[in-house]
Amino acid sequence: MKKLFICLILIIAAVSMASSLELNYGLRTGLVLGNLSVDPDPTEDSDLEAKMKMGFYCGLWARHMMNEKMGITAELNYVEKGDRYSEDMTGATMNIIMYADVLELPVLFTYLPSEKFALYAGPVLEYVLSSGYKMAYDVDDPDVVEYMGYGFGEWTNRIGFSIAAGVTYQVNETFFGEVRYTYGFSNVIGDDNELMPAEGLEAIPRTLTIGIGINL
């Protein structure tokens, strides 16, 4: 609730700033294909299979062009990162999902080689709004999903750092398509986390996003 209000205020502030500076700005949204680099690897000594965790992202962007070909893009995004491991059992599939819902602030150096394409790369500052893990049994008959899990709360490393690189393709004046890879450097799980099976367990996000955006 509090977070939502902070989000809303930030969004309104960003929009009003962008419009007063006469920047290009817009919205972006799409799918997240999430992975975590977990150490020690949970697939070792177990029948777990590493899968991709699907998620959702959305955000605002504003771009300032320094010259015709180059500019800076700043963004504020909500991204559902994480990872999924699954194991087939008789009559059910067990999924272990680790998740981190992140508020991202990327600052991206943008290069426009042609009118349609934009390439960009840059650092990303992250704030983890919530993280945790979830065990879900996807039962075949009856067709239900039974789940339980923990939210890590104070045992989360809230502030993280990543780098991102990606490309956008302008479909028409309003819409563009976008693919981005975000490579994390920070461990999401706090050192004092007592909910994880191994002490000092590390989980670092590796995220691919595919989506569309709008110039406003």
Partner 1 sequence: MKKLVLLFAVLCLATGLSMALDYGIRGGLVLGNMALDPEFDEWGPSEAKDKIKMGFYGGIFVQHPLSETMGILAEINYIQKGDKYSFDDSGDEISYIFYGKILEMPVLLYFQPTEKMTLYAGPVLGYVLKGGYNYKVSIDDPSISYYEGLDMNEWINRFEFSAALGGRYQLGGKYFGEIRYIYGMSNMFSDDNPELPEDTSGKTSTLTIGLGVNL
Contact residues for partner 1, defined by CB under 8 A: 1, 4, 8, 27, 29, 58, 132, 142-155, 174, 195, 214, 216
Question: Residue 174 gets which letter from DSSP?
Answer: S
Give whichever of 44 and 192 is closer to partner 1, judged by the CB atom.
192
CA proximity to 112, closest of 165, 71, 64: 71
Question: How near is the Cβ of 210 to partner 1 at its closest, in Å?
Answer: 16
Question: How near is the Cβ of 68 to partner 1 at its closest, in Å?
Answer: 26
User: What is the token pair recorded at 48?
Assistant: 């777990």
Give whichever of 3 and 69 is closer to partner 1, judged by the CB atom.
3
Question: How near is the Cβ of 23 to partner 1 at its closest, in Å?
Answer: 15
Taking CA atoms, 125 is separated from 94, 108, 155, 158, in Å, by: 33, 11, 19, 11
Are the C-beta atoms of 117 and 69 separated by less than 8 Å?
A: no
Give whichever of 155 and 183 is closer to partner 1, judged by the CB atom.
155
Question: How near is the Cβ of 148 to partner 1 at its closest, in Å?
Answer: 4
Q: Cβ neighbours of residue 154 under 8 Å, at least 6 residues apart?
A: 190
Q: Cβ neighbours of residue 114 under 8 Å, at least 6 residues apart?
A: none
Question: How near is the Cβ of 143 to partner 1 at its closest, in Å?
Answer: 4
Give whichever of 125 and 135 is closer to partner 1, judged by the CB atom.
135
> Phi and psi (nearest 5°) for 129?
-75, -45
Please give the distance of CA 71 from its chain centroid, rounded to a whole number. Answer: 23
Are the C-beta atoms of 57 and 205 separated by less than 8 Å?
A: no
Taking CA atoms, 53 is separated from 4, 11, 18, 32, in Å, by: 24, 27, 33, 8
Give whichever of 147 and 185 is closer to partner 1, judged by the CB atom.
147
Give whichever of 27 and 163 is closer to partner 1, judged by the CB atom.
27
Question: How near is the Cβ of 200 to partner 1 at its closest, in Å?
Answer: 18
Q: Which one-letter amino acid corresponds to residue 72?
A: I
